[in-house]
Every structure is written in structure tokens, then in C-alpha cells.
Structure 1
Amino acid sequence: MTALADRPHMQLSEFEELARFAARTAEGLRLEFINGRLGVKAVPDGDHAEIVLWLQRVCMQHRPDLGLYAERGLKIKSYREGRAIPDASLARPGSFAGHGDWSATEAVQMAVEVTSFDRDTDRRDRREKPRAYAQTGIPVYLLIDRDSCEVTVYSEPEGDRYDKAVTVPFGKPVTLPDPVGIELDTEPLKDWVN
């Protein structure tokens, strides 16, 4: 094994500079850096935005002490430092005040991803993100999967995985466990599948 095998091909500082440049110039793209790999996400479609808005309203109704922050850049402490932009992060208001483009995850109670219709969704949202969020200790990861019309709630992070994952089809209720503590009625998600 060479010394290069243990380090990312791109340094974190190089990624952050590239991400800032892309945010200013590459309309329609968002960059992430997870497990030493550069990822590109397309800007979400209208149904995706409606799902995030719906979830914001649910959280405001049931947990007014928390805020659902859309597309907040997070520092992911996986084996190769990274950066991820969840579709939403649930945290106490003021948790990210004074932060730059990227914040530590200690205040995050739940990370949310809504699948997009792109070729990297399976790898990114279903495999890499659960591992990265668990490694960082985010208590709950909510995956709203428009491809399978299912919601998966990951909880009880332990090392590089979540010990518990509950999957239900759109239309069935699911519990977002503590520290979130919300019973989520997924029926409205059927309207934003296409």
C-alpha cells in the first residue's frame, strides 16, 4: 500500500474552493465530497421542493422548538473528511449562526434526503449518506424515496451504520424517533411521486 492510498485524490481545501466556485458559476449543480469522492447533485425539481416544504410545515407544527434548514452544508467526519448538503437538516434555531458555508453536525437532530431522478441517487442517498450520517452521529436520517414510493427512517447510529431502519410505503404512518419525536403521516407524499 502506498501513502497515496490513504488520502483522498482531492484535498478538502481544494474541494471547498471548487464548491464555492461552482455555487457562483455552475447554475443547477451542487457539489459534495463524501469518502474522498467528489459528487455532483442536480438542483431539485418542483415536486422535490414541495416535499421539503411539506416536511418544514410538519416540523413547525409538531416541533416549533426546532427549525428545518434546507440545503445546509455539513462537515461529515467520515474516514476521509467530507462535506455533504442534505436536502434538509433539523436543528435548534441559531445552531448555524455565524458559520460559513459548512457547519459541524453536533446540533443536527435529523438529516433529510429526498431522492432525485438522477443516476447517482442509489449510491449517494441509499448507501453513502446513511453511512456518512451515522459515522457523524446524526441521530435520525430520513430518506424519502420517490423511486420506490417509500420512506425509510434510520436511527440509533453506531459506528458507520444505523442499527435501526424502518421502511414504510407512502401512505403509512412512520415514527421519527427521539430526539425528533414526530409521528409522520406519509399520505401527502403520494402527490409528489412522478
Structure 2
Amino acid sequence: MAVMVQEPPVQEEQDALLEVFLSLDTPKGFRAELIDGEIVVTPPPVSQHEMIVGEITMQVGRDASARFHAAANKGLIMPSGGRCPSGYVIPDGTFALAELLVFKNEKPWTEPDGVAMVVEVTSRRAERDRGAKRYCYARGGIPLYLLVDREREEVTLHSKPEDGDYHQLNVMPYGKPLPIPEPFGFDLDTADFS
């Protein structure tokens, strides 16, 4: 007698994974993300990584033509679909126009509405920043995604999100200024990134 085993529906698997993810209690300094159907736990970043995030934040505060609020490690809930099947991501830096009060709520996870730019600085798993996170940020409609690729020693500004990807990329090697369009309206100095 044959016994048929039926696979659980994909939605049930996603719901179970999300439940496990949301119940995680990561050690201090570590962060957990749900990217592309995988739970990713990342150890605290190295000093150069944090120095680059700090440098970008300082330049935005000093040089941008508008006033921005910045958040480090703010959890964003990206809409799933396309090359972003599940997205609870934590950018290294998140910027929103100050008047929008995007970071006012106390919830650890929020929708990307009102976010003007996210920043990622590559570390051990650079392919996630180059691929899965790129598609999730585009799917969420975030206008600008700034990727500082420490392995390649280059900075890429992704813009014009549509249909789950960014359709314009501006790549500069370390040391060259990278124009950041309005509402930022300044050239990012990358000389100190290496």
C-alpha cells in the first residue's frame, strides 16, 4: 500500500519561516535579516565598515541640499515578489527627508515608504548586497541604493527603480566623487573609503 505525502503549500513554509525569524533573539551586536527565503545572522561589522557608514552619514548631514534623518540598522519590510521572494532587510544606513518623520514609530520593522536612500557597505557576503538586497530595495521603490563595494573598491549608485530592479547605475572607483542627485544634491567624496 502506497502512502502519499503531500508537500505543504509554499505560503505555509513562508509563514513558518517568518514566525521563526520574528522570534529570534540575536546576541548583542549581531543582526538578523530574512533575505531571499533565508535567515541571515551577521556578526558586528569591522571598523572600516563602520567608518564608511559614518563618513557617508556625515557628508549627507553636512552637504545635502535638504535636511535628512538617518538611521543605522533600521529594519525595513520589503514587498515580496520577483527576485525578492521575502525581504526583512536591515540596511547599513537609511535616509529619509526630515519632514516626513519616517523613523518616528518605535517599531523595529517598518515599510520603506518615505525612504530616500539606503546604503550598504559590503562585508563577508558581498553577493547579497550586490544581488538580493538590490532587488528588494528596488521592489520597495526606494529611489536610491548606494552600494560601497570594499572588494571591488568602487561605489555604485543605483537609481530609477522599476519592475523589481534599478535601471540606472553610476559606478565610481574609490577616490572619485560620486554625484548624488536631488533631494541630496551633492557629490559624495569617496577618497577616505579605502
Give the alignment's TM-score, normalised by structure 1: 0.86
Q: CA deviation at 1:62?
A: 1.8
Q: Secondary structure at the match of 2:103?
A: coil
**Cα contact 2:56–2:188 (8 A) shared by 1:** no
Q: Is 1:15 aligned with 2:15?
A: no
For residues 49-108 of structure 1, give each alpha carbon's deviation from its aligned partner in whole angstroms, at most 9, with x where no partner exists. 111111111001123510221111111112244210000001133311123110110111
**Cα contact 2:145–2:157 (8 A) shared by 1:** yes
What RMSD, in angstroms, separates the aligned Cα atoms of the two structures? 1.9
Q: CA deviation at 1:2?
A: 5.8
Q: Secondary structure at the match of 2:193?
A: helix
**Paired-residue identity, %:** 34
Task: Report the Cα distance in structure 2 between the residues aligned to 1:130 and 1:182, rounded to whole angstroms.
Answer: 23
- Larger relative helix fraction: 1
Correspondence for 1:58: 59
Task: Report the Cα distance in structure 2 between the residues aligned to 1:90 and 1:12, rounded to whole angstroms.
Answer: 26
**Cα contact 2:115–2:142 (8 A) shared by 1:** yes
Tell me, which stretches of 5 or more residues in structure 1 are unaligned?
Answer: none
Correspondence for 1:72: 74
Bigger Rg, which one: 2
Q: Secondary structure at the match of 1:189?
A: coil
For residues 87-137 of structure 1, give each alpha carbon's deviation from its aligned partner in whole angstroms, at most 9, with x where no partner exists. 000113331112311011011100100011x2x222x11111110100000
Structure 1 residue identity aligned to 2:135: R
Stretch moving more, 42-51 or 147-156: 42-51
**Cα contact 1:91–1:110 (8 A) shared by 2:** yes
**Cα contact 1:34–1:76 (8 A) shared by 2:** no
Spell out structure 1 runs of 4+ moving beyond 3 A.
Answer: none
Q: CA deviation at 1:160?
A: 1.1
Tell me, which stretches of 5 or more residues in structure 2 are unaligned?
Answer: 1-5
For residues 6-63 of structure 1, give each alpha carbon's deviation from its aligned partner in whole angstroms, at most 9, with x where no partner exists. 5527432331111xx11xxx23421101232211222111111111111111001123
Q: Is 1:49 aligned with 2:45?
A: no
Task: Report the Cα distance in structure 2 between the residues aligned to 1:144 and 1:66, rounded to whole angstroms.
Answer: 20
Q: CA deviation at 1:188?
A: 1.6
